[in-house]
Structures are given as C-alpha cells and as structure tokens.
Amino acid sequence: MLSSSMLAARAMAADLEGAKGEQFESEWKRYADPATELDVYRLTEPTYSSTLPAYYNRVISRNSAFLLFCCDRPGLPAAFRMDLHGGATRQLTDRKELDGSSLNLLPDNRSFCYFADRTLYTVNLATLREREVYTIPDGWERGTGLTVGAEGHALFPERNAERSRLRSVPLAQGMARTILEAPFAIADPIERPGRTQILYRDADQRLWLTDGDGRHPRQLKTAVGRTGPANWATDGHSILYLNFPEDRTKLNAIRECTPDDDGDKLVAPTSQYVQFGSNRDTSVFVGASRNAASPVILILLRVTRRELTLCEHKASHPETVSPMFSPDAQRIYFQSDRHGRPALYSLHVERLVEKIEADKG
C-alpha cells in the first residue's frame, strides 16, 4: 500500500510537461577553443539548463557509451540519457522536484536511481519502469548527497534540527537502516571500494570515516586549510582531495589521505583547481581553475606534476564545472554557462591520455 506522500508525488508527476521516453536528435556543435585551438564539443543547447550530477556519482556507463544528466528542457528538471557515440538524447523521467545532483547509475549498468522531493526511485533504462523505494519519514529532511554502493544499496543523510543520521537502503528490496547518528550535518557519503567503510563530511567540510555498521567513526587527518572535493581512489587505498589553503595567495593542491596509516601527502600543486577528477588509475587528473584571469580546464600528469591547458571553461561559478574522465579516459566532460545557461561540453584526449580498458566488474 502506498503512503500518502507517495500518492501525492504520483499525482504531481501527472502535471509535469514533457514526454517521458521522448527522443531528441543530437545537438552537438564543434568549435575551436580560443585559448588552445583544440576542438571542443558543446553537447547541449544553452537555451535551457543541462547539468551533471554530483562529481562523485557514477553517471557514465562502464563502456563509455552513454551519459546520465539533468535537463529542464521539458519545463522542469528531468533525467536524460545521452548516446556518447552520436549525441541523441532520451527523456527518462517526468516527476516534479527531481534533484539532478542525485542521479546514479546502479551497479548492473541497466538502471539508475534518484531523489524527487522526499522519495527515492529506481528506473529501468530500457523500459523506463519506475519503482518507489523509500520516502523520508515525517520529522526528517534529506541531507546533501546520494550514492550507490557496490552491492546496490543507497547511502544518504537525513537531518532533524541539530541531529543528522546516515541511512542505507537496499535498492532491490529490504528495509532502511540507520548506520550512525551525529550532532552535525552529515553530507556526501561515499562507500570505500573493496571495504565496508564509508567516507562522509561534517558541517565544516572535514572528512570522516566509519565502518559500515556505524562503529568506529573518526575524523581523518588532512592538511591545514579547507578540504574541497574528495573521493576514493578506485582501489580504495586512499582518498584524493583538494586542499584550499587559508592564504588564498597560495596554490590549491591535490593531496592524498591514506586512512589505514593516518597518512597524508602532497600529490601536486595546481593552477588553482576548484574541482577535479581523475582517470581510473589516478595517473592523470583533470581540473577546473578558479583563476579569474585564466578560467580553464587542465590535465595534470601525476608522475611529473606537469599541467597542460585544454580549453577555457569561463563558467560564472567554476566550482560547478565538475570535469570528469570517461571510464576509458579518452574523453573529458564538463559543464559551463559560458554560452548562456548551463550546458555540457566534451573534449577528445586520446592523443594525450592512455586508454584504459573497460571495467568488467
């Protein structure tokens, strides 16, 4: 039997403009970057807003064939799938109050999940059949972040006044459970690859680690200054993060935290990255600079600490650029509002970065 909040969400969805399942032709446009003359592809029209989900979510298929993104082309934000071979797109959802940052591909690569208002849904990519998984109970509000663990369970925070709790919900079936509670706002939970541990943040953006059952929570030892975007290395051995020094005249840096031995070391200084990503073996990084005089996308080789400028992003808010590699490391994707409203962009980097074979897992 559906709860009253689920019935209300269903009724609201019926009023949303736009056709779930509707397909659109490619809008790709190629141009030469003014700074480097490299070819850049604008993948969506800037007459409406297209945005990437949270930087730590998996939104590109393992074979680098398609991308999940959020777009308000139907009149309100909806999930879309883009074919990365030709550019055709398909509308996947039609619910009001969809949170575009919450889109996540499931481990089977055939479904995805998202939050719309207070309800968590899963969607089959082939049939677009939706299933309501969980609704946040009265008295609680959703916190920042939704990720999916390797075994197909969703992780997200909920808050109530000064308290918050980290929740886990199996997406196939099963009951929601509370992993831990904290006297601060838990945010951005990310499961550790290969281990039953979870990385998360507090209200001051400090990094914490807990066991999967909520035991042994501890604050991680990171460099002095503000901790920016952070994510696990693919092998789960370390956490790569941006360090923003208190002195803004100093360079932002990529650093590596190793929780098992309380280690923390410099990977490389950067040209003032405010967001970054890496290829799967973390040998190459891609970053978005906040430098007002040079608002560009760069790649950085870990072994030499050498940077190469790829193109301008000219985003009004560089922290939203969210540059990322495709799983095979042959393309870079990012978003920018340089031509109007936020749009998606891509560059081919196969001549600069070694190809990584598709992950079979």
Q: pLDDT digit string (tens) for 131-175?
A: 999 999 999 999 999 999 999 999 999 999 889 999 999 998 879
**Residue 106: per-residue pLDDT:** 96
> Do 198 and 169 share a domain, yes or no?
yes
Residue 257 resides in a domain = yes
Domain range enclosing 203: 136-219
- Please tell me the total count of domains within the chain: 2
Taking the CB of residue 264, how many other CB atoms lie within 10 A of it? Answer: 18
> Do 258 and 202 share a domain, yes or no?
no
User: What CATH number did the domain enclosing 149 receive?
Assistant: 2.40.10
Residue 276 resides in a domain = no
> Do 210 and 147 share a domain, yes or no?
yes
Model confidence, pTM: 0.92
Residue 242 resides in a domain = yes
Quote the mean pLDDT of the chain: 93
Q: How far apart are CA 156 and CA 178, in angstroms?
A: 10
**Residue 245: per-residue pLDDT:** 94
Residue 17 resides in a domain = no
Burial of 185 (0-12, 13-18, 19+ CB in 10 A): middle
* pLDDT digits 0-9 by tens, 236-273: 999 999 999 998 889 999 999 999 999 999 999 999 99
Residue 120, H or E segment: strand 119-124
Between CA 130 and CA 288, with CA 100 as vertex, the angle to 5 degrees is 145
> Do 159 and 182 share a domain, yes or no?
yes
HEC profile of 288-328: EECCCCCCEEEEEECCCCEEEEEEECCCCCHHHCCCEECCC
> Do 239 and 173 share a domain, yes or no?
no
